[in-house]
C-alpha cells in the first residue's frame, strides 16, 4: 500500500486533507476486514491480480457473505431520506458513516460542502458530498465510481411487510429501504476492495469515489461541485472510465449493462384559494376551491393510456431508426412476468414487448405523483385545503432538452389556467435533469460484458433504463470519458416502492461482478 504517496498526491486535489492515522487501519470495522488487515504482510507484498486471483477473490467473498450483509443492515438502519428535511441529520450521519468505511479500506476521503437548499424561504444545510481516492499508480487505469447514500421515503404504514429501515432476510432476499437503491451497490464497491485486499491482491486499477446523499431529491449542489470545483481542481484529469451501479436488470434472471437513461423534469403546481384550510361545511359553497382548480389542471396533462397531452412535447423526441427497432426484438423481456410482479390488471400498449421497452426507455412518460397540502390520512377529513401543490413529472428522452420541456409544460399549464378562469392564485416551478445515452460498443462496455459473463455465464443484454440519474450526464461532461451503468439488483427489486429488496444472490455475485469488472478494466490499454 503506497498510502503515503497517495496522501501526497491527495494534497494537490483536496483543499483540506484528512490524514489517515495508521492505527485507524489497524482498528478494523468487522471480522472480514479484520482478517485481511491483520495479515499485514500481504498488504506489503500485495501481488498483482491475475486470472488466477479472481477465483480466490470470489471464494473470499463467499466466505465473508455474513459480514457483507451485516454492513448493509447497518447502512439501511440509517433513514437517510433526502426529500424530507426532518431526516436531514440522518443523511449527514449516513455520509459520515460511509466516510469511515472508505477510510477503513485505505482510501483518502474528504467531505465537500455543497451549501444550502431553500425550503419555505429557509436555508437548509445540504448533506456534504463524500469524495475519495484509492491508489494513484500512473501505470494503472483509473475508474471513477459514483453512488448515492440517500433513499426515498418509507413508512411501514405505506404497506411494508417489515420495518423499512430494518434489513430483514427472507427466502434469500434482503428487504429494506435502500437495500438495492443504492446502499447495496455502494457497499458492493467497498466489499470488492475488501476482497482484493483480503486475498492480498493488489487492486488492478486506481479508484476515485463520489458518493452523495441528495440523489433522490435532484442531486442539489452536486453538479456545481463536479463542474465548478472538482473539475478545475484536476480531480478528473487522471480518470479513464466512469462506472455507476444505481439501476437494475430488466428482468429477474438475465444481467444487463445499461447505456441509456431517461432524464426527469419534476413539477410543483401550486394553487391557493385561502390563507388557511377551511371547514367544508361552514365554507363549502362560498369559495372557489383550490382543489377543484388543481384537479382540473392535473387532468389536462395525460390521458388514460399514458399519452402526454402537453402541446408539442413529443416533437423533439429522437426519431426511431430501423437499427434501433431491431435491438428491442432480441432483448430478453417477459411482459406477463412483468405484469404479474407489479400486480397490474393490464399493461399499457396492450402489453406488446417492444412497445413496453420503448416506452420505458426511449419515449417520455408523465406521472401524477400526488398532492401536498390536501387530506392524505385515512378517514373522513372534511377540509377545504387553502393551498395545494400538485406533483407530477415527465421522464425525458433524447433529444428533449429540460429547458425546452419546462417551457412547453409552463406554457400549456398557463394556457389551461387561462381557460379555467379561476380567481385563485396559481404558480408552477420545475426541477430537471437531462437524458443520457452512451456508445455500447466502447471497449469499456466490452470489458464489463466479459466480467458479467464470467459471473453469470451469459452475455448481458445491452439495455437502457426508464429511470433517471441526472449526475450521469454531468460525469460524462466533467470527465469527458466513457460512462457505464453496471446494475447489481434485479428487475423486481421494487426501488422507491414498498418492500424494496435485493436478492442475496445479486448482492453477493454483484460484489464478484465488480471485482471482475475492475480486473477487466485493469487490462484495457492505458
Is residue 148 annotated as involved in ligand binding? yes
Region of 39-47, 72-80, 292-300, 322-330 interacting with a second copy (CB under 8 A): 292-300
CA dist., res. 439 & res. 273, Å (int):
50
CA dist., res. 480 & res. 215, Å (int):
21
Closest separation in Å from C-beta 361 to a second copy: 9
Region of 30-38, 58-66, 280-288, 508-516 interacting with a second copy (CB under 8 A): 280-288
The residue among 253, 92, 180 whose CA lies nearest residue 467 is 180
Closest separation in Å from C-beta 281 to a second copy: 3
Contact 104, 197 (CB under 8 A): no
Q: Using the rule CB under 8 A, which residue among 399, 425, 441, 458 binds a second copy?
A: 425
CA dist., res. 501 & res. 167, Å (int):
9
Q: Using the rule CB under 8 A, which residue among 121, 138, 159, 525 binds a second copy?
A: 159
Q: Using the rule CB under 8 A, which residue among 28, 398, 443, 466 binds a second copy?
A: 466
CA dist., res. 463 & res. 459, Å (int):
12
Q: Which of 90, 104, 150, 520 is catalytic?
A: 150
Active site residue 411: no
Q: Which residues contact 308 (CB under 8 A, 6 or more apart)?
A: 301, 302, 314, 364, 365, 366, 394
Instruction: Answer yes or no whether residue 467 interacts with a second copy by CB under 8 A.
Output: yes
Is residue 496 annotated as involved in ligand binding? yes
Closest separation in Å from C-beta 294 to a second copy: 9
Instruction: Answer yes or no whether residue 275 interacts with a second copy by CB under 8 A.
Output: yes
Nearer to a second copy, 132 or 184 (CB): 184
| Size of the residue set binding a second copy (CB under 8 A) | 102
In the block, which residue shows the cell 402537453?
310
Closest separation in Å from C-beta 191 to a second copy: 25
The residue among 483, 431, 368 whose CA lies nearest residue 82 is 431
Instruction: Answer yes or no whether residue 245 interacts with a second copy by CB under 8 A.
Output: no
Region of 30-38, 202-210, 258-266, 513-521 interacting with a second copy (CB under 8 A): 258-266
Q: Convert residues 112-141 into a mask of x (bound to a second copy by CB under 8 A) and - (unbound).
A: -------x----------------------
Q: Which residues contact 419 (CB under 8 A, 6 or more apart)?
A: none
Instruction: Answer yes or no whether residue 168 interacts with a second copy by CB under 8 A.
Output: no
Closest separation in Å from C-beta 186 to a second copy: 18
CA dist., res. 364 & res. 261, Å (int):
11
Residues 36-65 binding a second copy (CB under 8 A) are: none
Can you spell out the DSSP letters for 177-235? Answer: TTTTTTHHHHHHHHHHHHHHHHTTEEPSSEEEEEEES-GGGTTTTHHHIIIIIIHHHTT
145-158 burial: b if 16+ Cβ within 10 Å, else e: bbbbbbbbebeeee
The residue among 353, 331, 193, 314 whose CA lies nearest residue 260 is 331
Sheet holding 168-170, edge to edge: 168-170, 173-175, 501-503
Is residue 419 annotated as involved in ligand binding? no
Instruction: Answer yes or no whether residue 348 interacts with a second copy by CB under 8 A.
Output: yes
Q: Using the rule CB under 8 A, which residue among 266, 328, 507, 514 binds a second copy?
A: 266
Q: Convert residues 215-244 into a mask of x (bound to a second copy by CB under 8 A) and - (unbound).
A: -xxx--------------------------
CA dist., res. 128 & res. 96, Å (int):
9
Instruction: Answer yes or no whether residue 395 interacts with a second copy by CB under 8 A.
Output: yes
Instruction: Answer yes or no whether residue 331 interacts with a second copy by CB under 8 A.
Output: no
Q: Using the rule CB under 8 A, which residue among 12, 319, 330, 345 binds a second copy?
A: 345
- Coil/strand/helix, residue 136: coil
Contact 325, 333 (CB under 8 A): no
Q: Using the rule CB under 8 A, which residue among 295, 331, 462, 504 binds a second copy?
A: 295
Instruction: Answer yes or no whether residue 317 interacts with a second copy by CB under 8 A.
Output: no
Q: Using the rule CB under 8 A, which residue among 9, 42, 93, 391 binds a second copy?
A: 391
Give the torsion through C-alpha atoms of 365, 366, 368, 372, to 10 deg.
120
Active site residue 150: yes
Q: Which letter does DSSP use for residue 247 in this model?
A: -
Instruction: Answer yes or no whether residue 194 interacts with a second copy by CB under 8 A.
Output: no
Q: Using the rule CB under 8 A, which residue among 18, 46, 92, 274 binds a second copy?
A: 274
Nearer to a second copy, 197 or 387 (CB): 387
Instruction: Answer yes or no whether residue 162 interacts with a second copy by CB under 8 A.
Output: no
The residue among 524, 516, 525 whose CA lies nearest residue 49 is 516
CB atoms within 10 A of CB 119: 11
Q: Convert residues 470-499 into a mask of x (bound to a second copy by CB under 8 A) and - (unbound).
A: ------------------------xxxxxx
Q: What residues are labeled active site?
A: 150, 215
Annotated binding-site members for substrate = 246, 279, 382, 395, 468, 496
Annotated binding-site members = 148, 181, 216, 246, 279, 382, 395, 468, 496
Amino acid at each position: 500500500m503506497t498510502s503515503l504517496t497517495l496522501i501526497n498526491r491527495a494534497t494537490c486535489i483536496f483543499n483540506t486533507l484528512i490524514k489517515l492515522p495508521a492505527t485507524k487501519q489497524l482498528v478494523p470495522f468487522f471480522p472480514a476486514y479484520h482478517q485481511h488487515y491483520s495479515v499485514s504482510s500481504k498488504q506489503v507484498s500485495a501481488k498483482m491480480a491475475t486470472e488466477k486471483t479472481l477465483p480466490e477473490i470470489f471464494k473470499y467473498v463467499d466466505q465473508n457473505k455474513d459480514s457483507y450483509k451485516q454492513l448493509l443492515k447497518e447502512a439501511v438502519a440509517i433513514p437517510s431520506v433526502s426529500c424530507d428535511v426532518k431526516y436531514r441529520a440522518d443523511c449527514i450521519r449516513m455520509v459520515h458513516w460511509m466516510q469511515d468505511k472508505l477510510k477503513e479500506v485505505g482510501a483518502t476521503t474528504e467531505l465537500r460542502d455543497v451549501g444550502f437548499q431553500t425550503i419555505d424561504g429557509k436555508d437548509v444545510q445540504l448533506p456534504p458530498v463524500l469524495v475519495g481516492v484509492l491508489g494513484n499508480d500512473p501505470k494503472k487505469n483509473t475508474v471513477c465510481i459514483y453512488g448515492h447514500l440517500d433513499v426515498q421515503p418509507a413508512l411501514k404504514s405505506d404497506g411494508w411487510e417489515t420495518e423499512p429501515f430494518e434489513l430483514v432476510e427472507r427466502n434469500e432476499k434482503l428487504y429494506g429501504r435502500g437495500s438495492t437503491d443504492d446502499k447495496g451497490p455502494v457497499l458492493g464497491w467497498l466489499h470488492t476492495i475488501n476482497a482484493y485486499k483480503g486475498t492480498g491482491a493488489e487492486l488492478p486499477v486506481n479508484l476515485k469515489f463520489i458518493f452523495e446523499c441528495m440523489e433522490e431529491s435532484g442531486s442539489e449542489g452536486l453538479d456545481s461541485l463536479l463542474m465548478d470545483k472538482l473539475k478545475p481542481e484536476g480531480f478528473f484529469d487522471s480518470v479513464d472510465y466512469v462506472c455507476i451501479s444505481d439501476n437494475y436488470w430488466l428482468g429477474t434472471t438475465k444481467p444487463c449493462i445499461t447505456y441509456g437513461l431517461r432524464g426527469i423534469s419534476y413539477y410543483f403546481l401550486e394553487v391557493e384559494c385561502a390563507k388557511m384550510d377551511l371547514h367544508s361545511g361552514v365554507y363549502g359553497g362560498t369559495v372557489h376551491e383550490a382543489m377543484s382548480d388543481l384537479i382540473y389542471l392535473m387532468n389536462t396533462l395525460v390521458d388514460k393510456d399514458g399519452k402526454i397531452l402537453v402541446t408539442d412535447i413529443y416533437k423533439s423526441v429522437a426519431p426511431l431508426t430501423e437499427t434501433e427497432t431491431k435491438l428491442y426484438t432480441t432483448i430478453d423481456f417477459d411482459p406477463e412476468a412483468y405484469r404479474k410482479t407489479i400486480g397490474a390488471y393490464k399493461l399499457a400498449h396492450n402489453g406488446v414487448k417492444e412497445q413496453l421497452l420503448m416506452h420505458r426507455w426511449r419515449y417520455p412518460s408523465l406521472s401524477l405523483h400526488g398532492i401536498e397540502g390536501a387530506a392524505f390520512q385515512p378517514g373522513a377529513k372534511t377540509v377545504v385545503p387553502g393551498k395545494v401543490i400538485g406533483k407530477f413529472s415527465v421522464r425525458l428522452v433524447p433529444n428533449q432538452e429540460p429547458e425546452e420541456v419546462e417551457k412547453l409544460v409552463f406554457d400549456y399549464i398557463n394556457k389551461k389556467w387561462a381557460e379555467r378562469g379561476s380567481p385563485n392564485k396559481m404558480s408552477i416551478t420545475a426541477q430537471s435533469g437531462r437524458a443520457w445515452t452512451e456508445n455500447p460498443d466502447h471497449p469499456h462496455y466490452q470489458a464489463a460484458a466479459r466480467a458479467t459473463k464470467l459471473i453469470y455465464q451469459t452475455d448481458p443484454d445491452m439495455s437502457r433504463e426508464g429511470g433517471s440519474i441526472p449526475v450521469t450526464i454531468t460525469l460524462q461532461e466533467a470527465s469527458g470519458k466513457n460512462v457505464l451503468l453496471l446494475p447489481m439488483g434485479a428487475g423486481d427489486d421494487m426501488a422507491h416502492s414498498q418492500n424494496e429488496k435485493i436478492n442475496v444472490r445479486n448482492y453477493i455475485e454483484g460484489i464478484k461482478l465488480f471485482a471482475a469488472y475492475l480486473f477487466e478494466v485493469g487490462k484495457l490499454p492505458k
